[in-house]
Chain A
């Protein structure tokens, strides 16, 4: 079961810079490491992270093998309107996980 933790301020003033923190559980297996049996474990990493603010993409990142397991991604954006922030991680083996958070902008 995949768990993700999102930290977004519940309310913000219009034009305010808000900080968003995300954490997701993922092994980020590099594809270079031998497993317990001595065989190289196949790669299993997250490839891309995107944040959409009321369906408009405001942040995205490509991820690579050098990223640690359970990646933490933090960034800022400008509070423009009340609505929903959605966060999507996609990766190897058809991995896709989306989380949402609501924000009220006054």
Chain B
């Protein structure tokens, strides 16, 4: 009898592991409401800024709208398939990286937007909004395979003084609590997010660096290949889940 129970339990295990839940499900009803209703969601302030940026023509350059037209049509579903392969650099590139690359090559702007700056996060949030509700798309470019493998390896690499890997918390212990907060499954469906703890908007890279500081590792610098590879792997795990950008997190 007990063997039968054990077999049944084993049969159930893959189903439990396959159950993917967004960080949204772990939030309090009040915070969920904040994300659900645009009038309450502070991230919409960044979206408004991003929309203005989209249409603004820089000196000696073209506006985003000048090439891409109306973002609500041309950018639909685009954010859901990033990070993507970048022909120019031959590497994986995330949405913020693409915005800066576009800025340099097509808008002829000498200076890239700083990491976590308002215009960069605003544009990323505005583009993300155009994919809201659409499924995250798995990276399907074979040229991304090496970066994806590196990202996966990083996800399983223990680091820092506390010697933790991502998978130890987010695969093995999700749903439990860390310092009073639930541990989510690390599906980056809502970035850039407005985080109540930050009282500010932040990118996935900021969040990843946060976790690294948490395990007392030296975080990779903004824009590092490692961070983009991790983003790529995380997105492949989240493939098929609905985009929530711009999301709110506690």
Q: Mark A3-16 against chain B: 1 for CB-CB distance below 8 A, else 0.
A: 11101000000000
How many residues on B have C-beta within 8 angstroms of the other chain's C-beta atoms?
13
Within 181-230 of B, Cβ neighbours of A (below 8 Å) are at 196, 199-200
A5 to B48, CA, bound (A): 8
Return A21 CB to nearest CB of chain B, in Å.
4
A7 to B40, CA, bound (A): 10
Q: Which of the 9-residue segments A42-50, A68-76, A77-85 touches chain B?
A: A68-76
A23 to B43, CA, bound (A): 10
Say whether B48 contacts A70, CB under 8 Å: no
Whether A25 sits at the interface, judged by CB under 8 Å, is: yes
Say whether A23 contacts B42, CB under 8 Å: yes
How many residues on A have C-beta within 8 angstroms of the other chain's C-beta atoms?
15
Say whether A3 contacts B49, CB under 8 Å: yes
Chain A contacts of B196 at CB under 8 A?
A: 68
Chain A contacts of B46 at CB under 8 A?
A: 3
A4 to B40, CA, bound (A): 12
Say whether B42 contacts A72, CB under 8 Å: yes
A-B contact list, 16 entries, CB within 8 Å: A1-B52, A3-B45, A3-B46, A3-B48, A3-B49, A21-B39, A21-B40, A23-B40, A23-B44, A23-B45, A25-B42, A25-B45, A28-B199, A69-B199, A70-B199, A72-B40
Binding site for A on B (CB under 8 A): 39-40, 42, 44-46, 48-49, 52, 118, 196, 199-200
Binding site for B on A (CB under 8 A): 1, 3-5, 7, 21, 23-25, 27-28, 68-70, 72
